[in-house]
Structure 1
């Protein structure tokens, strides 16, 4: 018989519906009978006991909200009767002992990666082209169009071809009815096309809206983030365009790189429009093209070589979350994270607003009081800044989250934190700070999908695992994004964006541990260049910088 509901933690007074349940239906729970007082849609929650106004709702074993009115036993919890609430945190209060999972069957496994001079190993071999200020975005796009089309990295022009086809039919006299009924042929893209450089996985171009006209803190944080992208082992060489007069100066950028890697040895070509001599913009772009092309010849000499799994640097993120996120895909990649840590690798978890309510657990898991205190400080400062502009962590759940069962930020956060697995917290990082410690790292980012994934790539993630219950097409320019669905219905509905279906956990066909191991195997193949993720095939290269201050 299919399981109807789930209690995640023995202390919970909320149960999760695994399928649609009807008002009046009797639920047998630990020898007690619960008569449902409302229709309960799959992914939503109902109470095991009567909750009076002000009483605490517990899920994942932590406080996730307080009743705003009396909620009957077997009653649906929703935004009209439950308000966000979370426990306070007080720093590291006790020691933490971790029992690592058995990783003996992966002990001698390797992936085929790209070795860098600093000892890091990339899963991709990219050339990166970046602007230090938004004024250079147009020039970046000029270079992008030229390089990608000529060197075989451009996306197939499927939709342009469709417009061309309709135009041709129209010019030949086809009527409205004929145009309405015309069926396009589905074309499959060949991501490798006719590439000139066989050992270069891509040329990546960033654009952003920062670098000047904002407070100096944001401009300095931008260059730190961009420096992290340069140091990321998936990047083999860099071309930089600068205007010259902006806050994000070239010397600040070079300093940020040296702080992350004092012996930075990758090709780095910087072009400054206002300072470079010559015949203006066209001469600068021509020289940028020449030097970048020569750099591509150089990094094409790199070849994949076997590397231990301890060289993996994996970020974990969720977006478009639903009521199944915290019980299927998130715990699954949490187990993957534990396996990677046990193998000596590096794991990063971002989105601090979605760690609200589990701070004490993460502080207790921190290896030192200093790591715990830094996490506490960053959480408190983030919340303070949010409140200063009339916002708060309680506003985090989106309409889509709420519709699919994530009623409060604490419910969403408790499930989101499952991505971090159970290993000790080795370090806490600010936005743009590079991960230098093996094991689990907390990276301060917003919950916003692109801001968070941008931040983890800047901290050195070479692969990112992204769980979604509703469907999110996010990708990253330098850090391949693996999309995992929390439910099979989503995987079937949006196959063009989902790489791995974790719905078998909900149906009972797979355990969290089995799914986590499958994800690790997928990572090994991806890191070796055996295939690309759906986001990579779509050319989904999202980059967005987290601006925290006012524009001036």
Structure 2
């Protein structure tokens, strides 16, 4: 095969153009010449044989499309001549051979994390402020502006800054440090607290009771998250998402309720000023305690890593995604947890994942969640085949099955230990499948709500996504993106495309970076940009 073209599996009848192929040139495939009869842009697919209507397009050895119009050998595979088609699957497992990667060199590798009372280990130390309903978003913003500026975490200005300044001065006076804090503050008051995160949203009332339950489950996951020291919760009082539901969801994840949760009800408090002054006072005292936490060495097996992609291109499935999959296998081999989500982007690879499930029950649950999701999409005259975005299509991912075949590479080859629905919390070491949309922010929000302490996020087009409490490591599928958007990309996997780096070598570099980020030795680009995206999934059709 010419280095300008890649055939991903011997069964494939299309190849990936690694560089733009000009008509009139010839590539060599399986010791045979293949003439290029039209321009094939880089990342797009070239027909390696003549294809006729009804023929199936094969990539990675699996069905990713169906031919609608004749495609000559050496012609461009595009939306004008191919439509979505995926292989059918059954719930019956055909257990795959046990495969693994060698994690032994990483066995003694540790990261510096925050060990919580419940035994979980975080990579950051945050306090979170959350509303139970969108009516409280303004009050959350008031707290954000007051705390962030006065505590040295950001900029803002409102009438409650004075209140926080008084709290600082009061404590400083009791410790004989008034002069230290009387001046304008630029440094952080709480050096061991990485920040306070304010998670506003548009849910909590007006939807179904199931929406309110799911929201409370998600927020409980964030409170229980090992990167979180505790939470301040603002409630209006009359909304569907009641504080009692939140606490029940939190007990389901942490029966001992080992973290402080401060709940304030505006309708009981009366005036807004009364509500916010109480919330500021009690939260400040809780921050003093949260600041006592310090990092200590923890084995890499304590990591929980989300496997995510967004703004994918035709190279994602051959560079960044396989590298992340190899990292996942390394972490699983160490006894850690990894999580593969985005169910609309697993359509077409269901049988492969079913075969990797450790039990029939897990295979049945995965199939049931996929089928239910697909039925909801069809009920509103949509479907998984609507998933690829204009950017995906423009850069070579022309069908959902083609996109899924590459996206699934993020899950590596490890057996699937668990299957969870949104907004459940991760339960077992190993690889977990989590039902979420393909929407980048909704899916990352869900993964972190399920306990992911670091998220590995691949992109071929450039996506700035971050998260309020977990570092999101952005991995580019091509070096041109890393050079063009260095402010959002943390790691370049493009050298896999040109052959100068193997998948395994790139993955080990990525794991090393991830451990340093987990230890707080360096921040992700999203953290530096204060990109704190948080969108709860309202259980409808979101692809």
**TM-score bracket for this pair, using the shorter chain length:** over 0.9
Change over 3 Å in CA distance of 1:264–1:62 after alignment to 2 = same
Aligned to 1:109: 109
Aligned to 1:481: 472
Instruction: Give 3-state SS (helix, strand or coil) of 2:464's partner.
Output: coil
Aligned to 2:538: 547
Offset, 1:109: 1.3
Aligned to 2:46: 46
Alpha-carbon displacement from aligned partner over 1:383-423 (angstroms, at most 9, x marks no partner) = 10011111110011100000000010000000000000000
Q: Paired residue for 2:305, among 310, 314, 323?
A: 314
Q: Paired residue for 1:303, among 294, 305, 330?
A: 294
Contact 2:148 2:156 in 1 (8 A): no
Change over 3 Å in CA distance of 1:156–1:106 after alignment to 2 = farther
Contact 1:483 1:497 in 2 (8 A): yes
Provide the TM-score with structure 1 as the length reference.
0.91
Offset, 1:275: 2.3
Q: Paired residue for 1:268, among 241, 258, 261?
A: 261
> 1:100, 1:272 → 2: CA distance?
51
Offset, 1:196: 1.1
> 1:131, 1:203 → 2: CA distance?
14
Aligned length: 514
> 2:97, 2:230 → 1: CA distance?
42
Offset, 1:63: 0.2
Alpha-carbon displacement from aligned partner over 1:172-209 (angstroms, at most 9, x marks no partner) = xxxxxxxxxxxxxxxxxxxx961111111111000100
Q: Paired residue for 1:416, among 372, 396, 407?
A: 407
Ranges of 4+ aligned residues in structure 1 off by more than 4 Å: none
Which has the higher mean CA deviation after the structures are superposed, 398-407 or 102-111?
102-111
Aligned to 1:240: 233
Instruction: Give 3-state SS (helix, strand or coil) of 1:440's partner.
Output: strand
Instruction: Give 3-state SS (helix, strand or coil) of 2:267's partner.
Output: coil
Alpha-carbon displacement from aligned partner over 1:31-84 (angstroms, at most 9, x marks no partner) = 211111210010000111111101100001110000011111111100010000
Aligned to 2:511: 520
Instruction: Give 3-state SS (helix, strand or coil) of 1:442's partner.
Output: strand
- Which consecutive residues of structure 1, in runs of 5 or more, have no partner in the other structure? 158-191
Change over 3 Å in CA distance of 1:155–1:55 after alignment to 2 = farther
Structure 2 residue 524 is matched with structure 1 residue 533: yes
Aligned to 1:433: 424
Structure 2 residue 15 is matched with structure 1 residue 15: yes
Q: Paired residue for 2:200, among 184, 196, 207?
A: 207
Structure 2 residue 469 is matched with structure 1 residue 469: no
> 1:389, 1:512 → 2: CA distance?
40
Contact 1:427 1:437 in 2 (8 A): yes
Q: Paired residue for 1:501, among 471, 492, 508?
A: 492
Aligned to 1:380: 371
Aligned to 1:256: 249
> 1:529, 1:114 → 2: CA distance?
11
Change over 3 Å in CA distance of 1:21–1:155 after alignment to 2 = farther
Contact 1:155 1:538 in 2 (8 A): no
Aligned to 1:69: 69
Contact 2:233 2:262 in 1 (8 A): yes
> 1:345, 1:130 → 2: CA distance?
29
Contact 1:92 1:366 in 2 (8 A): no
